[in-house]
Amino acid sequence: MKLALAGINHRTAPVEVREKLAFRKDEVPAALVNIRARGAKEALILSTCNRVEITAALGDGVSTDALLEALPSWDGLSLDAVRPYLYLLEETEAIRHIFRVASSLDSMIVGEPQILGQLKQAYVQARDQGAIGSVLDTVLTRAFSVAKRVRSETEIGRSAVSVGHAAVELAREIFGSLDKKRVLIIGAGKMSEAAVRHLVGAGTTEILITNRTPEHAAELARIFGGEVIAYESFHHRLAEVDITIASSAASEYVLDSETVRRAIDARRNQPMFFIDIAVPRCIQPDVNDVEHAFLYDIDDLQRLADRNLKARSEVARQAESIVEDEVSRLEARLRERDVSPMIVGLQQQLEDLRREVLERHRSRLGALTLEQEEALEALTRSIVSKIAHGPISEIRRYAALRRLDNDPWASDLMSAIRRMFQLRDR
């Protein structure tokens, strides 16, 4: 099987493209079925605000393009229109990418911790759907270990800036002090919780929280001392707030330009600041055209991310070194697994020959004592082991150098050993 990955992220595609390809959680099971129907033996879908990626173990003869065909085509966005934004990775490059994603080296904010949890959730969902087999299980579980090693051996997690933190920093750049600003949080998920945590840290004391599920909003308000407002009526209180941070999972816009215009009129043209950190976006983009309204989406946080990356370049370099080391280790393990069936087959073939010859000549040996039987077994096993040592060492040596399925020389070597020892495919 071949490991392959297809996807887009915040570096290759703007948010208006990413949001059209994003999977909602309830859409993933059907998508996994679709991917496997196209020839993937195993599959996993990672869909976050910054990336949409499909990773799969493809059967023999299945092209990586099968993954592209499994991507959704929404809102009239064809596959041809998406291709310029896509990256396609195979084998080593796919492994390296997964390790970097898990370690938050490929994140908008290097060192942010959320992506590892999102990758673990994607793994669990795919596993529960029966889409995880030995290949993806090996790669993903190793990726989780790599992320742990990066965090324990470097300072990449120290003072890491999450998306929620970046949103608050952007608000502080616009307004300066936030201690007298009233903030509305739309949505009560993890990103909203992170945003509230940083708002409180920045001195904000007046926080309004709304969510489709009131209990979730109430829990967030209880933790941070915020006020819950009904989801159905938060538009009517919009004029009261200076800053709105939206992270709703709604499938449609929760705020449009007309609602914002009415709120600004009621505020007598006092400015309003909106940060939309949801993907798909939940604030209508033309809100930014409303006078005195300032709308930023998740791509606008890239400026803060770039600043963050420069400050953490040495830590990132250390983490990249760990990733490269772990990629080499996993490749060696996978190469060993590539040749294991052949090594087992050779050992079994020689063992069968040993037993056959012993049985054929046993009657000529007469009655043997227990000590003689044991000595005969040890002698013949030793001869077989010495015969097998040469070819097995050569198989392992060659496997340590390159992937067997990508090298014609390796293929010729394997074929020669099979012919010499009359090995059957196992």
- DSSP element (H, E) containing 379: helix 370-401
Provide the 3-class DSSP secondary structure of residue 144: helix
Residue 79: pLDDT band with limits 50, 70, 90: confident
Which DSSP symbol is given to 112?
-
Task: Specify the pLDDT at position 394.
Answer: 74
Mean pLDDT of 93-103: 95
Provide the 3-class DSSP secondary structure of residue 182: strand
Query: Residue 57: which of 80, 32, 82 has the closest Cα?
Result: 32
Please state, in angstroms and rounded to a whole number, the distance separating the CA atoms of residues 340 and 206: 63
Please state, in angstroms and rounded to a whole number, the distance separating the CA atoms of residues 84 and 110: 25
Q: Is 393 left (phi over 0), alpha (psi -120 to 50) or beta?
A: alpha
The architecture in CATH of the region 163-305 reads 3-Layer(aba) Sandwich (3.40)
Provide the 3-class DSSP secondary structure of residue 377: helix
Query: Residue 300: which of 166, 190, 188, 178 has the closest Cα?
Result: 166
Query: Residue 100: which of 1, 11, 192, 198 has the closest Cα?
Result: 11
Residues involved in catalysis: 49
pLDDT of 405 higher than 50: no
End-to-end CA distance of the chain: 15
| Mean of per-residue pLDDT scores for the chain | 84
pLDDT in tens, 165-198: 777 777 777 777 888 888 899 988 777 777 777 8
Q: Which of 25 and 163 is assigned the larger pLDDT? A: 25
Domain 2-159 indexed as CATH 3.40.50.300: no
Task: Specify the pLDDT at position 124.
Answer: 96
Tell me the angle at which helices 302-311 and 313-365 cross, rounded to the nearest 10 degrees: 70
Q: State the residue for tokens 């006078």.
A: 291
Say if pTM beats, i.e. exceeds, 0.85: no
pLDDT in tens, 296-306: 888 887 666 66
pLDDT in tens, 117-140: 999 999 999 999 999 998 999 999
Give the residue extent of every domain in the chain.
2-159, 163-305, 330-421
The structure tokens listed for 72 are 């959704």
The structure tokens listed for 189 are 């998920």
